[in-house]
């Protein structure tokens, strides 16, 4: 009997697995729930307001890409001022009209949203859409919720994930309502609605007070012994990582009230008490006040009075400081993470873990943005060194701008060259052609010139640099680590010199975790790259080596991340450019600061949004004040030290005072936070903080 198999797999006590960075269960829940950001965006399509019996009732028609249109009702006291808001999530059988008091409740405590509103809270409830979507004659006596839950599994998704996506979207509507203080919102859920509240809080951007009623116990008891669990209220595979009490404990430090009835036919009191103790222990371990656990003489219900008092207390405190604005934030949504995992699984199943079909696909996708073919390698530094070795720079001189990352020059040294530095021009932050001409006169035997596209700007001066190098017969290697997707007069970065070198490090606009790319127009050059990256093998699969190559291969696992990221790169690039335009407008009139204007011929990817500070502004003091007073973290400069100031390369520089344009830029520029998930609110906080500190 399969029941024995079920009981066996439910028997072990699962434990959360430690993972770095925050509570591990939150990332696991996000992955298993597969909530898509775009699909869960909810907008208000229509609204109609009435006032009756001391309550203001707002009938809303909401819409989302995932669900289409659905109904919601916002209730508040008739003369309410902006204050706390509560998202009310009913059980599977709850009807919106009953939750909000429009229809008589089928249970005494069903009209939760109405009673909380009469207690002074603004509430928002919406139609889950679990019942009434399928004609009863087609169900053949089956439970509609169970049918939906089973159907969702066919897509690798789950009904709970869909409900949580709706709840997150509606929560944003509640936060934005003029009668709600968006920093003081909480969740109340009953039964299935409590499961939705729990998982919504786990996926929310900030801690939310939660009141959960009639939803406490252990999954093995609910599904393997009592058989009272609803399949639409669990995440598939969650018991591999955690049990239900562990999920509640992961809400810490958020205020939490758990209610359960001693007469609830769906729960086992002993199992529920044990689960409650696990939650308390989790909060104690986190070093925060324990949750309020109420064992009540009731059935499968909600004690609304206790809930109202808890939520009023929890939401009475002044709004907490908003979460810091980070310098960088990397996000893959649930669908994208699933795609990465599927590709990793395919690679593991095939046994091909390096230089396989995913790497080939990565190279193909990258070519759409580089304008020429490329070979994937292990890093941007490897890309530079391989190209310089092919150019045979050993024993000669390589010229590069003095303002670039250490790796640019270090790659030349590792390839056997000595380096000499050139000042920059202020418009495009590229090599100054006049300074380059003088450097070439001093170094007539220069083996290569390496222009760098700082901050994602391919400078208009590059064409003059290319012409000058062609005139002298010196090959050009573009360091395009910052410039994937950038263009100059419509020509992609990486296609303008003999070689281009790209980085896919996590801070870059396109990423693979670790990875790089060498681009070039000549097939023989790309074949040479393939040999150098694989220990200098004379041919693929050969055991003979004709050059001292290295282990510079890109793994299939990194390519799994990289291919997914490149498939969304058009949207990434559009988002970065839109955010940059918004910064341009918001920064107008901010004293002591001037955004760096991108030259008209350059199509920047805005790897960095650069701005120049007045010389009187102390950059380090400003950055500390922004961080300490406003929670705003600026991105790293490009760069704060010139190569001539690096201890290793001091001998390659002229006397202090050379490179005046690069030195001024390095000392007085800042880079504002800019990444695709940066919100308008976060942008406004950045600019407001700058305005306040610079005024």
CB 443 within 8 A of CB 399: yes
Nearest-angstrom CA–CA distance, 4 and 667? 70
472 burial level (CB within 10 Å; 0-12, 13-18, 19+): middle
pLDDT at residue 323, rounded to an integer? 83
pLDDT(254) > 60: yes
E strand or H helix at 376, and its extent?
Answer: strand 374-377
**Candidate from 33-42, 193-202, 291-300, 439-448 with smallest mean pLDDT:** 33-42
Distance CA 113, CA 115 (A): 6
In the numeric block, which tokens belong to residue 112? Answer: 């939760």
What pTM was estimated for this model as a whole? 0.82
Read off the pLDDT of each residue in 518-528 and give the average, rounded to a whole number: 97
3-state secondary structure at position 450 = coil
Average pLDDT score over the chain: 93
Give the pLDDT band of residue 604 (cuts 50, 70, 90).
Answer: very high
Most confident of 7-21, 72-86, 561-575: 561-575
Q: Which residues pair with 188 in a beta bridge?
A: 88, 211
CA distance 255 to 248: 11
Distance CA 242, CA 17 (A): 8
Determine the pLDDT at residue 626: 97
Higher pLDDT, 101 or 135: 101
Question: CA 271, 272, 276, 278: dihedral to nearest 10 degrees?
Answer: 30
Q: Is the pLDDT of residue 23 over 60?
A: no
Decide: 119 and 129 in contact? Cβ < 8 Å: no
Question: Mean pLDDT across the stretch 233-257?
Answer: 95
Per-residue tokens: 609: 């949004």
Cα dist. 146→221, 228, 234, 340 in Å? Answer: 19, 12, 12, 30
Predicted confidence at residue 318, as pLDDT, reads 67
pLDDT band at 653, cuts 50/70/90? low
Rounded CA separation 361/367 (Å): 10
Q: Can you tell me the distance from the alpha carbon of 222 to that of 242, in angstroms, rounded to the nearest whole number? A: 14
pLDDT for the residue 656: 42
65 to each of 47, 145, 489, how far by Cα in Å?
19, 21, 37
Q: Is the pLDDT score of 9 beyond 70?
A: no
Tokens of 263: 């007469």
pLDDT at 109: 82
The arithmetic mean of pLDDT across residues 299-322, rounded, is: 89
Share of the chain above pLDDT 70, in %: 95
Task: Tell me, rounded to whole angstroms, the distance of Cα 621 from its chain centroid.
Answer: 29
| DSSP calls for 78-95 | TT--SEEEEEEE--TT--
Give 440-464 pLDDT, tens digit per residue: 999 999 999 999 999 999 999 999 9
Q: Determine contact, residues 362/62, Cβ cutoff 8 Å.
A: no
**pLDDT for 414:** 97
Going along the chain from its start, the domains and CATH numbers come out as 80-314 (3.40.50.1820), 334-566 (3.40.640.10), 570-694 (3.90.1150.10)
Please report the pLDDT score of residue 17 as a whole number: 45
Q: Is the pLDDT score of 24 beyond 80?
A: no
| Averaged pLDDT, 330-343 | 90
Residue 644, pLDDT > 70, answer yes
Residue positions counted in the chain = 695
The span from the CA of 572 to the CA of 561, in Å, is 15
**pLDDT at 210 (0 to 100):** 98
DSSP for 110-136, please give it: --HHHHHHHTT-EEEEE----SSSS-H
Radius of gyration of the chain (CA): 30
Residue 404 near residue 454 (C-beta atoms within 8 A) = yes
- pLDDT band at residue 211 using 50, 70 and 90 as cut-offs: very high
**Residue scoring higher pLDDT (583 or 146):** 583
Q: What is the pLDDT of residue 315?
A: 95
Calculate mean pLDDT across residues 685-695. 96
Q: What is the pLDDT of residues 483-514, one digit of tens each?
A: 999 999 999 999 999 999 999 999 999 999 99
- Using CA atoms of 681, 678, 614, 655 in order, give the dihedral in degrees to the nearest 10: 160
- 121 token code pair: 């809270």
- Label residue 319 by pLDDT band (50, 70, 90): low
Q: Which of 313, 341, 428 is nearest to 156 (CA)?
A: 341
How does DSSP classify residue 455? Answer: G
Give the pLDDT confidence score for residue 3 in this predicted structure.
63
- With 60 as the cut, is the pLDDT of residue 21 above it? no
Q: Give the residue-averaged pLDDT of 9-37.
A: 68
Distance, in Å, from the CA atom of 124 to the CA atom of 568, rounded to the nearest integer, reads: 34
- Give how far Cα 249 sits from Cα of 225, 282, 289, Å: 23, 5, 12
Give the pLDDT of residue 80. 84
Q: What is the pLDDT of residue 654?
A: 47
Give the bridge partners for 486, in sequence order.
none
pLDDT tens sequence across 412-435: 999 999 999 999 999 999 999 999
Looking at residue 7, what is its pLDDT? 67
Q: How far apart are CA 602 and CA 302, in angstroms?
A: 61
Q: Give the chain's end-to-end CA distance (angstroms, integer).
A: 75
pLDDT for residue 13 is more than 60: no
Residue 628's region, left for phi above 0, alpha for psi from -120 to 50, else beta, is alpha
Which pLDDT does position 655 carry in this prediction? 43
Instruction: Tell the burial category of 631 from Cβ atoms under 10 Å away from its Cβ (0-12, 13-18, 19+).
Output: middle
Share above pLDDT 90 across residues of the chain, in percent, rounded to a whole number = 82
Q: Which long-range contacts (CB under 8 A, 24 or more apart) does 574-578 make?
A: 575/676, 576/509, 576/605, 576/606, 576/674, 576/675, 576/676, 577/604, 577/605, 577/606
pLDDT number for residue 140:
81
Indicate the pLDDT class of residue 320, thresholds 50, 70 and 90: low
Q: Where in 423-560 does DSSP place strands (E)?
A: 448-449, 477-479, 487-488, 491-492, 499-503, 516-520
549 token code pair: 């190559």
Give the mean model confidence (pLDDT) for residues 571-595. Answer: 97
């Amino acid at each position: 009997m399969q029941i024995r198999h079920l009981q066996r797999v439910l028997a072990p006590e699962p434990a959360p697995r430690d993972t770095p960075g925050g509570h591990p269960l939150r990332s696991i829940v996000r992955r298993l729930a597969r909530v898509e950001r775009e699909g869960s965006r909810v907008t208000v399509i229509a609204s109609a307001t009435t006032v009756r019996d001391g309550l203001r009732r707002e009938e809303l028609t909401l819409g989302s890409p995932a669900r289409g249109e659905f109904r919601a009702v916002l209730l508040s006291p008739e003369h309410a001022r902006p204050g706390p808001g509560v998202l009310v999530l009913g059980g599977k059988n709850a009807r919106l009209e009953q939750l909000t008091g429009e229809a008589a409740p089928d249970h005494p405590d069903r009209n939760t949203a109405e009673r909380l509103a009469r207690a002074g809270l603004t509430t928002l409830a919406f139609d889950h859409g679990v019942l009434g979507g399928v004609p009863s004659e087609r169900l053949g006596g089956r439970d509609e919720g169970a049918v939906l839950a089973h159907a969702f599994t066919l897509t690798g998704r789950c009904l709970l994930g869909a409900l949580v996506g709706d709840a997150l979207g509606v929560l944003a509507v509640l936060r934005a309502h003029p009668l709600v203080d968006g920093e003081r919102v909480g969740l109340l859920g009953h039964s299935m609605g409590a499961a939705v509240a729990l998982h919504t809080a786990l996926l929310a951007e900030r801690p939310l007070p939660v009141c959960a009623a009639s939803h406490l116990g252990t999954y093995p008891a609910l599904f393997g012994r009592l058989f009272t669990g609803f399949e639409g209220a669990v995440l598939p595979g969650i018991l591999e990582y955690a049990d239900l009490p562990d999920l509640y404990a992961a809400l810490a430090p958020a205020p939490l009230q758990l209610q359960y009835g001693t007469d609830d036919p769906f729960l086992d009191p002993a199992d529920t008490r044990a689960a409650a103790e696990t939650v308390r222990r989790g909060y104690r371990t986190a070093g925060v006040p324990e949750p309020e656990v109420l064992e009540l003489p009731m059935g499968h219900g909600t004690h609304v009075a206790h809930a109202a008092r808890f939520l009023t207390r929890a939401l009475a405190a002044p709004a907490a400081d908003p979460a810091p604005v980070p310098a960088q934030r990397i996000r893959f949504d649930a669908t994208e993470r699933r795609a990465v995992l599927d590709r990793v699984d395919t690679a593991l199943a095939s046994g091909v873990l390096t230089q396989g079909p995913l790497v080939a696909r990565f190279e193909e996708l990258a070519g759409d943005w580089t304008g020429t073919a490329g070979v994937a390698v292990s890093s941007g530094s490897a890309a530079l060194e391989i190209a310089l070795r092919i150019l045979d720079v050993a024993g000669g001189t390589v010229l590069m701008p003095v303002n670039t990352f250490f790796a640019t020059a270090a790659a030349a040294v590792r390839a056997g060259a000595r380096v000499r530095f050139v000042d920059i021009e202020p418009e495009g932050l590229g090599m100054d052609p006049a300074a380059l001409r003088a450097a070439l006169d001093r170094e007539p035997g220069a083996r290569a010139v390496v222009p760098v596209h700082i901050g994602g700007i391919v400078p208009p001066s590059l064409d003059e640099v290319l012409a000058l190098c062609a005139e002298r017969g010196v090959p050009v290697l573009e360091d395009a680590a910052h410039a994937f997707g950038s263009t100059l007069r419509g020509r992609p970065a990486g296609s303008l010199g003999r070689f281009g070198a790209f980085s896919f490090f996590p801070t870059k606009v396109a990423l693979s975790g670790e990875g790089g790319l060498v681009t070039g127009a000549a097939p023989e050059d790309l074949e040479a790259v393939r040999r150098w990256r694989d220990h200098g093998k004379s041919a693929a699969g050969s055991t003979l080596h004709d050059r001292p190559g290295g282990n510079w291969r890109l793994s299939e696992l990194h390519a799994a991340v990289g291919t997914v990221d490149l498939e969304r790169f058009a949207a990434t690039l559009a988002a970065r450019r839109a955010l940059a335009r918004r910064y341009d407008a918001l920064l107008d009139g901010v004293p002591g600061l001037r955004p760096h204007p991108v030259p008209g011929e350059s199509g920047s990817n805005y790897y960095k949004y650069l701005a120049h500070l007045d010389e009187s502004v102390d950059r380090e003091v400003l950055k500390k004040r922004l961080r300490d007073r406003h929670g705003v973290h600026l991105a790293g400069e490009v760069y704060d030290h010139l190569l001539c100031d690096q201890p290793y390369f001091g001998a390659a520089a002229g006397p202090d005072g050379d490179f005046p344009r690069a030195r001024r830029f390095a000392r007085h520029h800042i880079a504002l936070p800019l990444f695709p998930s940066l919100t308008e609110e976060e942008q406004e906080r950045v600019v407001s903080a700058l305005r306040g500190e610079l005024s």
